[in-house]
Amino acid sequence: MEEVTTVYKLVADFFNHPLFAIFGGIGSILIVIGFTYKVISIFFGVMPLAIRLGYGLWKRKIAVISDADSFAKLSNALESSKLFSKKNISHVPLNTLESLSVANLYLVDWDTAGGSIEEIFQRRASTQIPIVIVARPASIPDETMSLIANRPNTVVVNFLGRLLNDVLTSLMTTSYDAK
């Protein structure tokens, strides 16, 4: 028993050396500084993204260019996510394309508005306004797809499941304020 306490005292005396106290203190300070740096980096890295996401969802208007049936389907897909407010989603029939200037994103149903796609591109106030085109796979001719592909901030979506992601990404990437 006495041997155990003697070994314990030797180990305790070894680790009570001032050198261990100095290195332990320095190590503790470095850990606190590193942790503080990580917290600050995460805060400044995530906060701008969260602010842009919030702004992109809160104030931005979405114009759905389609017939009434397609509008119901597309707006339901957006509203069911609970990310977009019903008041921010408006229907723009093909005969009233001049009301596009109030929207921040154009959501175009290809089946009903595909013939007016060039007019939609011409009526957008700026290339900073994204256009998301919802089309069935292979329903857009190759020539037209090439013209669409060369336009900035334009996305073609083939699946309603992808629609939410593309609308959200488009709103976030164009939500910054020009300085």
Q: Are residues 30 and 94 in the same domain?
A: no
Whole-number pLDDT of residue 39: 93
Q: What is the CATH number of the domain that holds 71?
A: 3.40.50.2300
pLDDT digit string, tens, across residues 27-86:
999 999 999 999 999 888 888 878 777 766 777 888 899 888 989 999 888 888 888 888
- For residues 50 and 71, membership in a common domain is answered with no
Location of structure tokens 């609970």: 82
Enter the tokens of residue 50. Answer: 């969260």
Domain count within the chain: 2
Query: Does 179 map to a domain?
Result: no
User: Is residue 10 located within the same domain as residue 68?
Assistant: no
Residue 92's Cα: distance from chain center in Å?
25
Beta bridge partners, 155, equal 132
Same domain, 92 and 147: yes
Asked if residue 97 and residue 131 are part of one domain, the reply reads: yes
Tell me the C-alpha distance between 122 and 145, whole Å: 17
Residues 100, 158, single domain; the answer is yes
Tokens of 54: 């919030």
pLDDT at 175: 67
Name the residue range of residue 147's domain: 61-173
For residue 92, give the nearest of 108, 104, 115, 80 by alpha carbon.
108
Compute the distance between CA of residue 69 and CA of residue 88 in angstroms, rounded to an integer.
Answer: 18
Helix (H, G, I), strand (E, B) or coil at 1: coil
Burial status of residue 89 (CB atoms within 10 A of its CB: 0-12, 13-18, 19 or more): buried
Residue 178 lies in a domain: no
| Claim to verify: residue 114 and residue 146 sit in the same structural domain | yes
Q: What is the pLDDT of residues 90-139, one digit of tens each?
A: 888 887 777 666 788 899 999 888 888 888 888 888 888 899 999 988 88
pLDDT of residue 179: 44
| DSSP designation for 129 | S
Q: Which of 37, 55, 73 is a domain's end point?
A: 55
Backbone φ and ψ for 147, nearest 5 degrees, come out as -65, -40
The band of 162, judged by pLDDT with boundaries at 50, 70 and 90, is confident
